């Protein structure tokens, strides 16, 4: 049985680890993975059809804990303890829930101090004591009668001096509010930075039909006089940059991965040129916390591809990358330039622009782009030692990009390449 410290408005944890409000989903999973054999039976709950409309939940049924993450920014917004029989809880070194310590109303008030009158819900038969950053819910069955619901604890008449036990504990940020959907998500806490770099925003720089570069806005913990503070930077990455230039701008990658095979190569018109020609392996710089990969050419060691990841649940690569918050301005149709009446400038009369973000669905994009080409089906984990329970995805090419689309029409990843490179698209 776990013995955990409760810190209102902040966290739930112990000396070895701590789940902190505002931490990323990937970081929470990393804690669980480090506790194999201690934390068991973990489940990930999400809405497969509409993953942005329902909270993302890490459920620990054997320990009675649920970690609730915001579906968009994927940061921890609430911690629920729903089965107090499976866990020991303490606050400031004082045990208030254990087999030998019943979590009664009196015990909660003794441990946490005075609070405002509780709230009784006659319809749900629940009584809630609210403190800043933490709430305690009690199931009040029919043998307990409530008088004036506005009077709180004093309005409840308990038979034989009995008192109900806590049925649910909620840790959150700020003051108690009526609905869970309205809970604010705290910013990414400094204690979770761990010396890494995190993405704020990525803007794709395009010139009509081709990608020129990427403006990356990221943040990290400062050093020197800025130690203990969040520091933001903006860098620009362009095709043709050397790996040394990229490292100097973004820092050391999380991982370097060398390509062993390219199953998409068969769709290249020039594949026959390379069948008998041995070549060195191109390699990726994987920036997991920034949400993207950069591919370098094996000969020139210069950028030739850029891949952004959306980290939607239900995708084969889910939880490997943090979500990349990107913006792309795409131009539709063919340009037809006309000279203005004063003969001073040309205006584009036919092409239109649409903005694609991390959350734009492919069916919306294809409708605006009038894109009707058949996709390439991408199957992952087809070997005997690797299975993919989520099914295949579909790849659509448009201009110098390849959109990988999930079955729910959400974008899983986008690959950007130089349009003059045909052998490795």
Confidence at residue 268, expressed as pLDDT on a 0 to 100 scale: 55
Per-residue pLDDT reduced to its tens digit, 94-109: 999 999 999 998 899 8
- Is residue 283 over pLDDT 50? yes
The more confident residue out of 229 and 179 is 229
Q: State the DSSP string of 68-82.
A: EE-TTT-BEEEEEE-
The more confident residue out of 338 and 101 is 101
Confidence at residue 148, expressed as pLDDT on a 0 to 100 scale: 44
Assigned architecture for domain 2-182? Sandwich (2.60)
What are phi and psi for residue 159, nearest 5 degrees? -65, 135
Structure tokens at 201: 């925003």
DSSP H or E stretch at residue 210: strand 210-221
Tell me what percent of the residues of the chain surpass a pLDDT of 70: 81
Q: What is the mean pLDDT of residues 143-149?
A: 49
Structure tokens at 117: 């009158």
| Domain range summary for the chain, segments of one domain joined by + | 2-182, 193-417
Q: Where are the beta strands (DSSP E) in 196-302?
A: 198-207, 210-221, 230-238, 255-258, 283-287, 292-296
Confidence at residue 157, expressed as pLDDT on a 0 to 100 scale: 52
Distance between CA 55 and CA 185 in Å, rounded? 12
Q: Are strands 87-91 and 2-7 parallel, antiparallel or unpaired?
A: parallel
- Least trusted range by pLDDT, from 107-111, 216-220, 243-247, 262-266: 262-266
233, 215 Cβ separation under 8 angstroms: no
- Is residue 86 over pLDDT 80? yes
- Least trusted range by pLDDT, from 23-37, 131-145, 192-206, 270-284: 270-284
Confidence at residue 119, expressed as pLDDT on a 0 to 100 scale: 83
Distance between CA 390 and CA 78 in Å, rounded? 27
The more confident residue out of 9 and 390 is 9
Q: In which band, very low, low, confident or very high, does the pLDDT at 425 lie, cut at 50, 70 and 90?
A: very low
Confidence at residue 348, expressed as pLDDT on a 0 to 100 scale: 53
- Least trusted range by pLDDT, from 176-190, 212-226, 261-275: 261-275
Distance between CA 285 and CA 277 in Å, rounded? 25
Out of 102-111, 364-373, 396-405, the most confident range is 396-405
Confidence at residue 150, expressed as pLDDT on a 0 to 100 scale: 46
Confidence at residue 156, expressed as pLDDT on a 0 to 100 scale: 54
pTM: 0.86
Among 97, 99, 72, 94, residue whose Cα is nearest residue 82: 97
DSSP H or E stretch at residue 411: strand 411-417
């Amino acid at each position: 049985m776990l013995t955990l410290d409760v810190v209102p408005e902040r966290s739930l944890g112990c000396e070895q680890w701590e789940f902190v409000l505002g931490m990323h989903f990937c970081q929470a999973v990393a804690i669980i993975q480090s506790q194999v054999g201690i934390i068991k039976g973990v489940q990930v709950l999400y809405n497969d059809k509409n993953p942005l409309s329902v909270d993302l939940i890490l459920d620990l049924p054997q320990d009675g804990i649920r970690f609730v993450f915001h579906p968009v920014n994927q940061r921890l917004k609430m911690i629920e303890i729903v089965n107090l029989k499976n866990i020991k809880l303490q606050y400031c070194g004082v045990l208030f829930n254990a087999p030998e310590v019943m979590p009664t109303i009196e015990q909660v008030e003794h441990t946490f101090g005075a609070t405002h009158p509780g709230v009784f819900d006659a319809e749900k038969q629940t009584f809630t004591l609210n403190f800043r950053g933490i709430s305690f819910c009690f199931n009040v069955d029919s043998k307990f009668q409530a008088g004036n619901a506005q009077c709180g604890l004093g309005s409840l008449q308990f038979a034989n001096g009995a008192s109900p036990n806590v049925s649910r504990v909620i840790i959150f940020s700020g003051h108690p509010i009526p609905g869970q959907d309205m809970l604010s998500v705290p910013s990414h806490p400094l204690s979770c930075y761990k010396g890494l770099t995190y993405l704020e925003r990525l803007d794709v720089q395009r010139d009509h039909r081709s990608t020129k570069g990427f403006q990356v806005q990221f943040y990290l913990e400062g050093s020197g006089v800025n130690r203990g503070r969040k520091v933001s930077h903006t860098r620009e990455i362009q095709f043709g940059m050397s790996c040394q230039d990229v490292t100097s701008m973004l820092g050391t990658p999380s991982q370097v991965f060398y390509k062993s095979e390219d199953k998409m190569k068969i769709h290249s018109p020039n594949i026959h040129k390379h069948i008998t020609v041995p070549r060195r392996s191109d390699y990726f710089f994987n920036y997991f916390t920034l949400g993207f990969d950069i591919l370098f050419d094996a000969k020139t060691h210069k950028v030739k591809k850029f891949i952004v990841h959306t980290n939607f649940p239900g995708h084969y690569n889910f939880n490997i990358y943090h979500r990349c918050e990107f913006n792309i301005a795409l131009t539709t149709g063919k340009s037809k330039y006309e000279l203005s009446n004063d003969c001073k400038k040309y205006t584009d009369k036919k092409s239109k622009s649409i903005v694609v973000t991390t959350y734009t669905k492919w069916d919306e994009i294809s409708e605006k782009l009038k894109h009707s080409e058949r996709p390439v089906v991408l199957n992952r984990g087809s070997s005997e030692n690797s299975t993919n329970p989520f099914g295949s995805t579909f790849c659509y090419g448009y201009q110098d990009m390849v959109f990988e689309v999930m079955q729910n029409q959400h974008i899983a990843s986008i690959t950007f390449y130089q349009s003059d490179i045909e052998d490795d698209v």
